[in-house]
Amino acid sequence: MDFAEAQKEALGCTKCGLCHSRTQVVFGEGPLNAELFVVGEAPGFNEDKEGKPFRGASGMLLDRLLDSLELGRERVYLTSLVKCKPPGSPPRPPKPSEISACRPYLVAQLAAVDPKVVVALGDLASRVLTGRKEAVSRIRGRAIPLDGRYVFPTLSLTRALYTPADRALLISDFSRLPELLEAERPSTYETLNVTRSPAEREPVQPGLW
Q: Which is nearer to ligand SF4, 16 or 169 (CB)?
A: 16
Please give the Cα distance from 148 to 164 (Å, whole number): 34
Cβ 99 to ligand SF4 shortest distance, Å = 8
Residue 101 or residue 128: which is nearer to ligand SF4 going by CB? 101
Binding residues for ligand SF4 (CB under 6 A): 10, 13-16, 18-19, 25, 82-84, 98, 101-102
- Contact, 35 vs 144, CB < 8 A? no
At closest approach, how far in Å is the CB of 112 from ligand SF4? 17
* C-alpha span between 184 and 151 (Å, rounded): 14
Positive or negative torsion for Cα 145, 147, 152, 154? negative
Pick 80 or 154: Cβ nearer ligand SF4: 80
Instruction: Compute the least distance from the CB of residue 76 to ligand SF4, in Å.
Output: 21
Q: How far is the CB of 185 from ligand SF4 (least distance, A)?
A: 29
Nearer to ligand SF4, 6 or 194 (CB): 6
Show the DSSP H helices in the chain as ranges.
3-11, 45-50, 56-68, 96-113, 122-130, 136-139, 157-162, 164-174, 177-182
